Amino acid sequence: MEKFNSKIPDGPLARKWTKYKASVKLVSPANKKKLEIIVIGSGVAGAGAASALGELGYNVKIFCYNDSPRRAHSVASQGGVNAAKNYQNDGDSVYRLFLDMIKGGDFRSREGNVYRAAEVSNQVIDHFTALGVPFARDYGGTLNTRSFGGVQVSRTFYAKGQTGQQCLLGTYAALNRQIKKGTVTMYPRREMLDLVLIDGKARGIIARNLITGKIEKYAAHVVVLATGGYGTIYYLSTLAVNSNGSAAWKAHKKGALFANPSFVQIHPTSIPQLNEFQSKLTLMSESLRNDGRIWVPKTKGDKRPANEIPEEERDYYLERRYPAFGNLVPRDIASRAAKERCDAGYGVGKTGLAVNLDFMDAIKKQGKKAIENKYGNLFDMYKTITGMDPYEEPMRIYPAGHYTMGGLWVDYELMTTIQGLYAIGEANFSDHGANRLGASSLMQIAADGFFILPNTISNYLADEIHVPKISTDKPEFEEAEKSVVEKLNKLISIKGKQTAASFHKRLGKIMWDYCGMIRNKEGLEKAITLVNELKEEFWRDLNIPGTIYELNPELEKAGRVADFFDLAILLITDALNRNESCGAHFREEYQTPDGEAMRNDAEFAYVAAWEYKGEGKPHILHKEELKFEEVEMKVRSYK
Ligand SMILES: Cc1cc2nc3c(=O)[nH]c(=O)nc-3n(C[C@H](O)[C@H](O)[C@H](O)COP(=O)(O)OP(=O)(O)OC[C@H]3O[C@@H](n4cnc5c(N)ncnc54)[C@H](O)[C@@H]3O)c2cc1C
């Protein structure tokens, strides 16, 4: 018996969302005022949802651990937002965006969800423009676009290399308007440490005030998680260092299924690790692949400066292997190709773990000014970090952990398997299958927050109008608070010698080595043993100075790392279970003779949704079969 129902509406693909919206239950304005909603997370997904729900008239409380919503990780998005506007008249359409996403995700996502994401994309651009996002414009004043990986049209709207920052600022303005109106209350520097269920429904949270350490209780009719992805499980990643998977993990432990945890995106164009002391990697946006050409020397171990290697001695390996898409192949393919070249001894730089991203041709053709206009801030960032000037010599890049396609399982309404608990944005698994195409996260998180959730949530809340304001005096809140305090006490009383960050770093290395870009059965099994050993050492030798009831960043980190150990085991288990290669999940045993991913549609065309059964007990796997009625599952080719 399945634990879930994906609730995809019947009828033709292009009519599903329209039909859903026309038949969904509504809540009258008078009743909306009586209903309370908690949103955790103030990135574009969470702040977008809170502002839209506030505008509708609900009472919203929004929480984040940052000191300001403006510092949510979304601020780091660089390259752009996809939409099917077809301003370029280059053959784009909602249907083509849908096809690109389904193919890009290697046929491991739901047709209904993906089509809706493509359909809502156009509203997203209009909305951001209305919020004042300064998207780049062409000479005639029309919004300009560029191309991202895995597509042959130009559909990415951008604001230099700071698109996420501008989108978050626009969203923040919308949020502030609601805060001023009194529909939304903002709680910064609060970390949700548990979810409270009453009679099986999500009814509130336990949070720690990160300034005072006080444990606080908040109640509502529904809870929305917009808590981002868990890519920092690799320690070194392109994400904000504080990004983590704990909120999703707490919900998972309370009954929310976790879907496709092993679908993790490794981005091909990060600045390579420079030394052992680094705690973060910096992305160089995929947009750079519009004009930058990726190459390595044709001769193994050639350590001459890039500019001294003549044209005929360079291997533009993406253009050679994938002539149809060239440097704009999807991320999973570009990442593996870079790793293959470096492993074969053609990598550049001191470590040999880098490839060139070269703008010299583009500068010659378009002029330095044109390149500066498109990517100036990224070039400056690169120069500040590496001391090398990309206007004069190629950038050096290497793959790094970046984005998690996996996340909490949600149905078409974005509700998890816990009644009244929603997950939106990167925190859910919904739209990207086994590999996300560039610039489609901002598209999805804004669609989820501003447009989809505000429509679907009323279907649930319409039946909640008779439920009076929930009190935090209920025993369920007290029990949850007690268990949070016990867990914090357990962590703080270990009194060992090692910091949480040192454990995180070692966990990240295991994950990167055995469950990163390329995986195999033997390595994954070894990783489970290594993670369990490290987890045991963590609970024996962790050191946290200070107390619970004060500002204590070490305690915050430790709680997140503790959850990462358990999430890591699930991630590896999922990777072990999926005996196929698809998208970013590449199992060495399942590849074609020319090194491409080999899917197994007969056995694995499903969403793997895992159920938590208790500490130390194996998870149970539930399979949501993926039905393809509109597209034919084909071998993904970018040649
Ligand atoms: C360097 C970089 C560049 C990128 N560029 C692009 C791009 O150009 N285009 C694109 O489409 N995508 C891009 N992405 C991906 C995109 O940025 C993310 O997928 C997206 O921003 C996630 O947004 P979100 O709203 O879901 O969550 P986030 O922006 O990650 O926000 C999470 C929020 O949850 C809060 N939170 C988390 N846990 C808790 C807790 N326990 N208690 C309280 N609050 C909590 C945080 O405080 C934060 O407010 C990029 C990613 C990176 C790393």
- Choice from 441, 450, 484, 567 to test ligand 1 binding pocket (greatest atom count within 8 A of CB): 441
Would the CB of 72 count as within 6 Å of ligand 1? yes
Ligand 1 atom closest to the Cα of residue 41 is 34
Cβ of 441 less than 6 Å from ligand 1 = yes
| Fold for the domain defined by 268-401 | Flavocytochrome C3; Chain A, domain 1 (3.90.700)
SS3 169: helix
66 Cβ below 6 A of ligand 1: yes
Question: What is the average per-residue pLDDT within 574-603?
Answer: 96
* Distance of CA 427 from the midpoint of ligand 1 (Å): 9
pLDDT at residue 444, rounded to an integer: 98
One-letter amino acid of 193: L
How much distance in Å is there from the Cα of 139 to the middle of ligand 1? 32
Residue 427 structure tokens: 């925190």
Would you say the CB of residue 403 lies under 6 angstroms from ligand 1? yes
Q: Report whether residue 46 contacts ligand 1, using a CB cutoff of 6 Å.
A: yes
Residue 205 pLDDT > 70: yes
Choice from 44, 51, 67, 74 to test ligand 1 binding pocket (greatest atom count within 8 A of CB)? 74
Q: How far, in Å, from the CA of 171 to the mean position of ligand 1?
A: 13
Indicate the top mutation candidate among 442, 450, 564 to test ligand 1's pocket, ranked by most ligand atoms within 8 A of CB.
442
CA-439 nearest atom, ligand 1: 11
Tell the residue nearest (CA) to atom 3 of ligand 1: 77
Side chain identity at residue 614, one-letter code: G
CATH hierarchy code of domain 481-612? 1.20.58.100
Q: Is the pLDDT of residue 349 over 90?
A: yes
Across the beta sheet with 145-146, the strand order is 81-82, 156-157, 145-146
For the Cβ of 165 lying below 6 angstroms from any atom of ligand 1, the answer is no
Of 157, 165, 227, the one to substitute when testing ligand 1's pocket (max ligand atoms within 8 A of C-beta) is 227
Residue 287 has a pLDDT of 87
pLDDT at 339 over 60: yes
pLDDT of residue 15: 97
Q: Is the pLDDT of residue 450 over 50?
A: yes
Mean pLDDT to the nearest integer, 539-567: 98
Q: Which regions of the chain carry the CATH code 3.90.700.10?
A: 268-401
Mean pLDDT to the nearest integer, 403-412 = 98
Q: Which atom of ligand 1 is nearest to the CA of 229?
A: 30
Q: What is the Rg, in whole angstroms, of the alpha carbon atoms belonging to the chain?
A: 24
Strands laid side by side in the 190-198 sheet: 190-198, 201-209, 215-219
For residue 333 and ligand 1, the question of a CB distance below 6 A is answered with: no
Query: Tokens standing for 61?
Result: 């409380």
The 10s digit of each residue's pLDDT in 486-527 is: 999 999 999 999 999 999 999 999 999 999 999 999 999 999
Which pLDDT band, with edges at 50, 70 and 90, does 2 fall under? low
DSSP 452: I
Query: Ligand 1 pocket, 445 CB below 6 A?
Result: yes
Ligand 1 site, residue 243, Cβ cutoff 6 A: yes
Question: What is the CA(74)–ligand 1 centre distance, in A?
Answer: 4
> Is a pLDDT exceeding 90 seen at residue 222?
yes
563-592 average pLDDT score:
97
Closest atom of ligand 1 to CA, residue 286: 8
Residue 321 known to be catalytic = no
Q: 110 C-alpha vs ligand 1 centroid, how far in Å?
A: 22
Cα–Cα nearest to 505, from 235, 243, 275: 235
Q: Is the pLDDT of residue 460 over 80?
A: yes
Cα(400) to ligand 1 centroid in Å equals 16
User: Does 283 sit in the ligand 1 pocket, CB within 6 Å?
Assistant: yes
Question: Rounded to the nearest whole angstrom, what is the distance from the C-alpha of residue 227 to the centroid of ligand 1?
Answer: 7
Closest CA to 352 of 344, 342, 362: 342
Catalytic residue, chosen from 96, 331, 336, 519, is 331
The pLDDT confidence band at residue 637, using thresholds 50, 70 and 90, is confident
- Which parts of 25-173 are beta strand (E)? 36-40, 59-63, 81-82, 145-146, 156-157
Measured in Å, residue 64 CA sits from the centre of ligand 1 at 12
Going by pLDDT thresholds of 50, 70 and 90, the confidence category of residue 241 is very high
- Ligand 1 site, residue 100, Cβ cutoff 6 A: no
Instruction: Please choose, from the candidates 609, 608, 590, 610, the residue with its C-alpha nearest in 3D space to the C-alpha of residue 600.
Output: 590
For tokens 């444990």, name the residue.
215
Residues of the chain with CATH 1.20.58.100: 481-612
Spell out where 36-178 has E strands.
36-40, 59-63, 81-82, 145-146, 156-157
HEC readout, 425-449: HHHECCCCCCCCCCCHHHHHHHHHH
Does 246 sit in the ligand 1 pocket, CB within 6 Å? yes
- Percent of the chain scoring above 70 in pLDDT: 100
CA of 264 to the centre of ligand 1 (A): 15
| Tokens standing for residue 505 | 């770093």
Tell how far the Cα of 549 is from the centroid of ligand 1, in angstroms. 28
Name the residue at shortest CA distance from atom 14 of ligand 1.
77
Say what the pLDDT of residue 638 is. 85
Q: Is the CB of 245 under 6 A from ligand 1?
A: no
44 within ligand 1 shell (Cβ under 6 A): yes
Nearest CA to ligand 1 atom 33: 41
Q: What's the confidence (pLDDT) of residue 1?
A: 45
Distances (CA, A) of 336 to 96, 550, 555, 575, 591: 26, 45, 37, 17, 12
Tell me what the mean pLDDT of segment 402-427 comes to: 98
User: Considering the chain, what percentage of its residues have pLDDT values greater than 90?
Assistant: 94
| Residue 457 near ligand 1, beta carbon < 6 Å | no
Evaluate if residue 412 carries a pLDDT over 90.
Answer: yes
Distance of alpha carbon 37 from alpha carbon 460, whole angstroms:
12
| C-beta 439 within 6 A of ligand 1 | yes
- Model confidence pLDDT, tens digit, residues 263-309: 999 999 999 998 889 999 999 988 899 899 999 999 999 999 999 99
**Contact by Cβ (8 Å): 46, 64:** yes
Q: Cα(414) to centroid of ligand 1, in Å?
A: 17
Question: Residue 621: enclosing H or E segment and its boundaries?
Answer: strand 620-625
